[in-house]
Amino acid sequence: MENKLIKLSRTIARKNNFIINKLIYQAFSISKGDWRNVIFSGRYKNKNAVLKVYDEERVTQEPLWLKYYNNINTSKLLLAPKLYKYKIYSSARGWLIMEKLPVNSFLKSPLNSVQRQKFLELFLIYRKILPVKPKSILNLVERLPAGDYHIFRTAKWLKMANDKQAAMGVKILKPEQIIPRYLKAKEIITKAFKQRKMIFCHGHFKPKEIAQVNGKYYLTDFSHMKLYPEGYELAFMIWADYLLPGNWRLNYKQWRKGVDSWLKDLSKIASVLKIKDYDSLISASLIERIMGTILADITSTSKSKSEKIKRISLLYNLFDDLVKY
Question: What tens digit of pLDDT does each residue of 83-96 get?
Answer: 999 999 999 999 99
Do 91 and 122 belong to one domain? Answer: no
Residue 241: give its domain's CATH number.
3.90.1200.10
What residue type is assigned to position 313 of the chain? Answer: S
What residue type is assigned to position 271 of the chain? Answer: S
How many CA atoms lie less than 13 Å away from 19 in the CB half-sphere?
6
pLDDT at position 284 is 98
pLDDT at position 229 is 98
Smallest CA-to-CA distance from 202 within 65, 28, 321 is with 65
Do 159 and 242 belong to one domain? Answer: yes
Minimum mean pLDDT range among 75-89, 160-174, 183-197, 295-309: 160-174
Q: Does a structural domain hold residue 108? A: no
pLDDT at position 302 is 81
Q: Does a structural domain hold residue 106? A: no
pLDDT at position 2 is 66
> Can you tell me whether residue 49 is helix, strand or coil?
strand
Q: What would the pLDDT profile of 197-216 be if each residue is shown by its tens digit?
A: 999 999 999 999 999 999 99
pLDDT at position 170 is 66
Categorise residue 71: left if φ over 0, alpha if ψ from -120 to 50, beta otherwise: alpha
Do 44 and 136 belong to one domain? Answer: no
Q: Over the chain, what is the mean pLDDT?
A: 94
Q: What would the pLDDT profile of 148-162 be if each residue is shown by its tens digit?
A: 999 999 999 999 899
Q: What would the pLDDT profile of 216-260 be if each residue is shown by its tens digit?
A: 999 999 999 999 999 999 999 999 999 999 999 999 999 999 999
Do 186 and 240 belong to one domain? Answer: yes
- Tell me if 139 sits within 8 A of 83, measured CB to CB: no
Do 147 and 170 belong to one domain? Answer: yes
Q: What would the pLDDT profile of 259-312 be if each residue is shown by its tens digit?
A: 999 999 999 999 999 999 999 999 999 999 999 999 999 988 888 999 999 999
Residues 6+ apart with CB under 8 A from 300: 30, 160, 161, 164
Instruction: List the domain range (segments joined by +) for residue 218.
Output: 113-324
Chain-centre distance of CA 85, in angstroms?
Answer: 25
**Final residue in a domain of this structure, among 73, 99, 125:** 99
Residue 63: give its domain's CATH number.
3.30.200
**Final residue in a domain of this structure, among 99, 134, 153:** 99
- pLDDT reading at 171 higher than 90: no
Q: Does a structural domain hold residue 104? A: no
pLDDT at position 31 is 64
Q: Does a structural domain hold residue 107? A: no
**Count of domains for the chain:** 2
Q: What would the pLDDT profile of 26-62 be if each residue is shown by its tens digit?
A: 988 766 667 899 999 999 999 999 999 999 888 899 9
Q: Does a structural domain hold residue 33? A: yes
